Structures are given as C-alpha cells and as structure tokens.
Amino acid sequence: MSDQIGSTGKTVLILGANSDVAKETISLYHAQGYFVIAASRNVEALQHFLQQHNLTQEEVLVQYFDAAAFDQHKIFYTSLPVKPNVVVYAAGYLKDNQHALINWEGSYQMMTVNYCGAVSILNIIASDTENKGLQRIIGLSSLSGVRGRRSNFIYGSTKAAFTQYLAGLRQHLFSRNIIVNVIVAGYIRTKMNAGLNLEESLMLEAAFVARAVVKPVNRFIIVPGLKWKMIYRILTLLPEKLVAKLP
C-alpha cells in the first residue's frame, strides 16, 4: 500500500479507536485528508461506525488491537500497511475506585489499559527510527491524574503515570523533531462515564475534546475548555491539606 494515502499523503493511527472521543477524531482526521487506521478490540463496533458515516475501508482501515496483549504489539505495528505520521493513544478503562480497592482485577485492568498498554505500543512506535514520517504522538490523559483524590486515586494514578511517561517521551524524541502532546481532559460525556454523578455544568462533549486532539499546539499539556483550564491551575497549586478535603 502506498504511503501517499489520503489527500494529504498522511496517515494517523488511532489506538483505542472505539472510545467516543476517538470516533470523533476519526471523522475530523478524515475531513482533513488523512488516511485513518482505527485500531480497537471491538472491530465490529468500528465497522458499524464507518457504515453510519459512509466511510470506506479505503478511507478508514479498521485493525484489531488489544492494549493488554503486550506480546502482540510488535506484530501489530510491523504488520501495518503504512507507518503513521500521527499516533493517538485513546484507549481507556475506568472502574469504580471502591471496587478496584478491594478487587485487584479492577485495579490491574486500569493499569494495563491506561498505562502499561500505552507504554508497550508507544515504545515500539517511538523506537522505529526507520519511520522518518512520524511527526506527533498524542495521548489522552485526565485531570484525575493531576492530584491524588480519595474518590478515584487508583484510576488517577494510572493517568498520572501515563502523563509522566509522555513527558519523558517528549524529551526523548525532541532531537528527531517529533512532538508529543498530552490531552488532560476533565469530565467528558462518554459511555465510559455514563451513570457517574458528575457536575453537568462541567461536562465536555466528546467532539469538543476531539478538536483539541486533531488541532494540538506545540506545548506539552493541553487542557480543553476554559473552566477546566482554571480547575487544572487550581489543582496544581492547591495545598495538600485542601486537596485532602476534596471528594
């Protein structure tokens, strides 16, 4: 397959492409002329999404990818029909903190998908020095990882670790002129957050966050939404004794 796919001649690889934000990025990248490789465990859901949006496999290629299958990541990457110019890691898993606290499987699954799986596949992608076209790596993290809070510290710890990994990866790739960004998002109206008691006035739409993914700036941390920018700033400065009072 030619590396000049799509009107821009560029390819984006979206890992965890079945998330609500990721699906929005598929449409946005396609509209910009990218050839999209959408990778997820749920290939049937992605194929249904393509049918709904009248997208063909020549425009958006669906591939199977399991963030937890570390031993398959190298095979997955080397078998791609074309190497990506942009990589988006959007895979995520959330379990209730109390459940995860007493049930190791819940904690382990969050660690596996949110952090370990990301490090595994992104290490492989970043180490491919033969891919001269790689321009940017973007990770979807969360404000839950900014400060530890008693209501979600296990999930938050996986996002904090992911953000720090991306920060180091950004420095590692600096000499190759590859930009690394992290999207530090607040509450998003997605299927993963469905049923949670979240403040309605702070909810972000998946399409809004996707626009921040597709049109990132060069700074490392990107916080979508003015309210969340303010909250992020407050969280970074808040004394520990006040953080301890947060839910």
Domains annotated on the chain, with CATH: 11-243 (3.40.50.720)
Q: How confident is the model at residue 2 (pLDDT cuts 50, 70, 90)?
A: very low
pLDDT tens digits for range 237-247: 888 888 777 76
Global pTM reads: 0.92
CA distance 86 to 109: 26
Nearest Cα to 83, choosing from 17, 11, 136, 14? 11
Report the chain's mean pLDDT, rounded to a whole number: 91
Q: How confident is the model at residue 202 (pLDDT cuts 50, 70, 90)?
A: confident
Least confident of 34-43, 72-81, 100-109, 200-209: 200-209
Nearest Cα to 115, choosing from 57, 81, 169, 158? 158
pLDDT tens digits for range 117-170: 999 999 999 999 999 999 999 999 999 999 888 889 999 999 999 999 999 999
Determine what percent of the chain falls in helix, strand and coil, rounding each to the nearest 5: 45, 15, 40
Q: What mean pLDDT is predicted for residues 10-28?
A: 96
pLDDT tens digits for range 213-239: 999 889 999 999 999 999 999 988 888
CA distance 183 to 92: 13
68 and 113 Cβ atoms separated by less than 8 Å: yes
Helix (H/G/I), strand (E/B), else coil: 242:
helix
Residue 137: in which H helix or E strand, if any? strand 136-142
